[in-house]
Amino acid sequence: INKIFKPRKRVQEGGKNSQNRKVTDFYPIRRSSRKSKTELKWEQKKLIDDLITKGIEEGMEVQHIEGKGRAVFATQCFQKGDYIVEYHGDLLQITDAKKREAEYAQNPATGCYMYYFQYLCKTYCVDATKETSRMGRLINHSKNGNCQTKLHDINGVPHLILVASRDIDKGEELLYDYGDRSKASIAAHPWLKY
Contact 93, 124 (CB under 8 A): yes
Say whether both 140 and 46 belong to one domain: yes
Query: What is the model's pLDDT at position 90?
Result: 92
Which pLDDT score, from 0 to 100, does residue 83 have?
94
Residue predicted with more confidence, 193 or 136 = 136
If one counts the domains in the chain, the total is 2
Between the alpha carbon of residue 185 and those of residues 88, 142, 180, 189, the distances in Å are: 22, 15, 7, 6
CATH number at residue 177: 2.170.270.10
Say yes or no: 107 and 166 in one domain.
no
Q: Are residues 107 and 120 in the same domain?
A: yes
Q: Do residue 102 and residue 179 come from a single domain?
A: no
Predicted confidence band at 2 (pLDDT cuts at 50, 70, 90)? low
Task: Note the pLDDT of residue 188.
Answer: 54
Tell me the C-alpha distance between 189 and 156, whole Å.
35
In a domain, 96, yes or no: yes
Same domain, 81 and 66: yes
> Strand pairing of 147-154 and 157-164?
antiparallel
Alpha carbon distance 182, 67 (integer Å): 24
**Residue 54 in domain:** yes
Which tens digits make up the pLDDT trace of 11-22?
455 455 557 777
The answer as to whether 20 is a domain residue is no
pLDDT at 63: 95
Distance CA 145, CA 173 (A): 9
Output 114 or 67, whichever has higher pLDDT. Answer: 114
Indicate the range of 61-70, 155-164, 175-184 predicted with least confidence: 175-184
pLDDT at residue 160 in the model: 93
Residue-wise DSSP of 86-118: E--SEEEEHHHHHHHHHHHHT-TTT---EEEEE
What pLDDT digit, counting tens, does each position of 157-166 carry? 999 999 999 9
Least confident of 75-79, 108-112, 189-193: 189-193
The range of the structural domain enclosing residue 99 comes to: 89-130
Examine residue 14 and state whether it is found in any structural domain, yes or no. no
Q: Is residue 64 part of a domain?
A: yes
Strands 175-176 and 140-141 turn out to be parallel
| Residue 78 sits in the same domain as residue 48 | yes
Based on the domain organization, do 110 and 44 belong to the same domain?
no
Q: Considering the chain, what percentage of its residues have pLDDT values greater than 70?
A: 82
Q: Give the residue-averaged pLDDT of 63-87.
A: 92
Same domain assignment for residues 79 and 111: no
Cβ density class 38-47: b for 16+ within 10 Å, e for less: eeeeeeeeee
Instruction: Compute the mean pLDDT over every residue in the chain, rounded to the nearest whole number.
Output: 83
Same domain, 107 and 175: no
Asked if residue 73 and residue 137 are part of one domain, the reply reads yes
Residue 180: pLDDT above 70? Answer: no
Residue 116 shares a structural domain with residue 189: no
